[in-house]
Amino acid sequence: MASPAEKHSIEVCFTPKLFPEVVTCGNYIVVLVDILRATTSICTAFANGVKNIIPVATLEEARNLKSEGYLVASEQDGKKLDFADFGNSAFNFTREAIGGKTLVYCTTNGTRALDTARRAEKIAIGAFVNLQSLSNWLNAQEKNVVILCSGWKNKFCLEDAIFAGALAQNLLLGGRFETHCDSAHAAIDLWSVAKPDVTGYIEKAAHRHRLKKLGLDDVIPYSFTLNSTEVVPVFEGSEILNVIPVVKI
């Protein structure tokens, strides 16, 4: 009897601070997750034709690139910074505003997590809006997967955790992955609780309340909509590119 093909592992990291402890496998792709709002926004920008995105981890870098003429999206604690062209809302990134252009992107949590993950072989950008296309792409890579939740200031956050569960479950169902990671099991169980009414579930999330206070919670229904785009943004070298070209009909 032929032995079954070796499966790849899935590990979930609930905050960047736990990354060194969580990652026990080698040869892995990191999926970066910041549902509210960086990774949802990045997927949206590619869905609307941005050419490439340059992520930066500090405000100084973002400010310098602005002065060199780049379009810059930058926020701190959820708010757009004065010098920037955009904040961190997916709704900013319309085809008119960013189609065919290069965007510099700096956010409180998202790009910091990206910095944490730089030792990965590849870093893909995950959100509910590209869940299925991302799953398909990961299934074809023959690598282990580490799902890295950005969290909020290194705290666990619900919206990233349930996405990690949705993605982990999708990958397990494909039959090419397995997991022995307690965080992955927990994320899958949280997703099973949240799935029947995701926007209702997320009402209790702390970050949802932070955004509401700032009047920035209009993106919430969109951020939890499954598969509105087929893009798979991947960090390569010093920029993020879409590896699944958008077919224009």
Residues 6+ apart with CB under 8 A from 197: none
Least distance in angstroms from the C-beta of 47 to a second copy: 28
Binding mask 8-27 for a second copy (x = CB under 8 A): ------xx-xx--xx-----
CB-nearer residue toward a second copy: 63 or 185: 185
Considering only residues 66 to 125 of the shown chain, the ones binding a second copy according to CB under 8 A are none
Least distance in angstroms from the C-beta of 110 to a second copy: 17
CB atoms within 10 A of CB 183: 22
Least distance in angstroms from the C-beta of 179 to a second copy: 9
Task: By CB under 8 A, tell whether 199 contacts a second copy.
Answer: no
Site for a second copy (CB under 8 A): which residue of 36, 47, 205, 234? 205
CB-nearer residue toward a second copy: 11 or 75: 11
Site for a second copy (CB under 8 A): which residue of 70, 91, 156, 222? 156
Task: By CB under 8 A, tell whether 154 contacts a second copy.
Answer: yes
CB-nearer residue toward a second copy: 183 or 242: 183
Task: By CB under 8 A, tell whether 198 contacts a second copy.
Answer: no
Distance CA 242, CA 4 (A): 33
Site for a second copy (CB under 8 A): which residue of 25, 57, 59, 186? 186
Terminus-to-terminus CA distance in the chain, angstroms? 47
CB-nearer residue toward a second copy: 33 or 103: 33
Site for a second copy (CB under 8 A): which residue of 180, 195, 212, 221? 180
Task: By CB under 8 A, tell whether 209 contacts a second copy.
Answer: yes
Task: By CB under 8 A, tell whether 168 contacts a second copy.
Answer: no
How many residues touch a second copy under the rule CB under 8 A: the total is 29
Q: What is the 3-state secondary structure (H, E, C) of the chain?
A: CCCCCCCEEEEEECCHHHHHHHCCCCCEEEEEECCCCHHHHHHHHHHCCCCEEEECCCHHHHHHHHHCCCEEEEEECCEECCCCCECCCHHHCCHHHHCCCEEEEECCCHHHHHHHCCCCCEEEEECHHHHHHHHHHHHCCCCEEEEEECCECCECCHHHHHHHHHHHHHHHHCCCEECCCHHHHHHHHHHHHHHHHHHHHHHHCHHHHHHHHCCCHHHHHHHCCCCCCCCCEEEECCEEEECCCCCCC
CB-nearer residue toward a second copy: 14 or 46: 14
Task: By CB under 8 A, tell whether 171 contacts a second copy.
Answer: no
Site for a second copy (CB under 8 A): which residue of 109, 123, 207, 230? 207
CB atoms within 10 A of CB 189: 13
